[in-house]
Homo-oligomer: A and B are copies of this chain.
């Protein structure tokens, strides 16, 4: 009897949904979703950055990022300035954004610790390694 062939994509999506909900529940007190937290975090590390640099960092479509930034700009966490190349926009955290990030980072650390503990170091390495390999498939 041929075993059921699991769809790699569905399995990954299921894991993604579960993991995102876990991180989201930890981050909830900050009012941020994990995707928003990731954007703030990326900008924090990249300092003054641009839309396209963020796209690469987050492996996110240009149009997706464009929209994802909106609520963060609207709520005053990210500041936008026209670049030297006037097509570009410079993105940076506002004071409010840095404060929020600092608070949310504590919650994120809890989530990361919780999941790390549940997975164990081996499975954690496996997740990171596998994710890396899959991202490499991007053409």
For the complex, give the distance between the alpha carbons of A138 and B22 in Å.
Answer: 8
Q: Contact flags (1/0) for A97-139 with B, using CB distance below 8 Å?
A: 0000000000010011001101100011011111111110110
A17 contacts partner chain B, Cβ-Cβ < 8 Å: yes
For the complex, give the distance between the alpha carbons of A23 and B134 in Å.
Answer: 12
Within 8 A of B (CB), among A10-26: 10-23
Instruction: Name the one of B5, B38, B127, B137 contacting A130, with C-beta atoms under 8 angstroms.
Output: B127
CB distance from A101 to the nearest CB of B (A): 13
Instruction: Name the one of B9, B19, B129 contacting A134, with C-beta atoms under 8 angstroms.
Output: B19
Q: Which residues of A contact B (CB under 8 A)?
A: 4-23, 34-35, 38, 41, 45, 58-60, 108, 111-112, 115-116, 118-119, 123-124, 126-135, 137-138
For the complex, give the distance between the alpha carbons of A17 and B38 in Å.
Answer: 15
A118 engages B137 (CB within 8 Å): yes
Instruction: Name the one of B6, B11, B12, B112 contacting A8, with C-beta atoms under 8 angstroms.
Output: B112
